[in-house]
Amino acid sequence: MFLRHNALGISWAILILILCGIPGDQFRGENKANLDVVIHAVLFAVLFLLLTIGFIKQKRFLALHSLTKLKVLILCTVYGGLIELMQGFLFVGRSVEFSDVLANAVGAGAGLVVFMLIYGNESYT
């Protein structure tokens, strides 16, 4: 049940990891630093939405039903930070950028705002 409802969120998280692992020299000709920040924010806003909806729909782990939005917000922010650390230490041609960490967190926050606009603040248990 858990994987069925969270397959999209997990797949999206893997896609983010793959995209962030692409060597940086693939993008050297581009002078679009602001676009990079927007892309990070959008990726993490979508991740927040997919994981929140998946956590709410699943019935296996009932602990995920309390404070779901806060848990997913923290999860997305930590995941974004870990990806940036991996860019600095594991991925070739990549580096840690604080602006990306911030954009990831802002994107997760934007996902929270979109979720609240769509679904409101009702109880999901």
Give the tens place of pLDDT for each residue, 63-102: 888 899 999 999 999 999 999 999 988 888 888 889 999 9
Residue 81 CA to residue 73 CA, distance in Å, equals 12
Least confident of 29-43, 44-58, 108-122: 29-43
pLDDT for the residue numbered 85 = 94
Say what the pLDDT of residue 102 is.
Answer: 96
Per-residue pLDDT at 13 exceeds 70: yes
Q: What average pLDDT does this structure show over 102-117?
A: 96
How high is the pLDDT of residue 104?
A: 97
DSSP per residue, 10-74: HHHHHHHHHHHHS-GGGGTT---HHHHHHHHHHHHHHHHHHHHHHHHH--S-GGGGSSHHHHHHH
Asked if the model's pLDDT at residue 27 lies above 70, the reply is no
- Provide the pLDDT for residue 96: 86
Across 31-35, 52-56, 112-116, least confident range: 31-35
50: pLDDT confidence band, cut at 50, 70 and 90?
Answer: very high
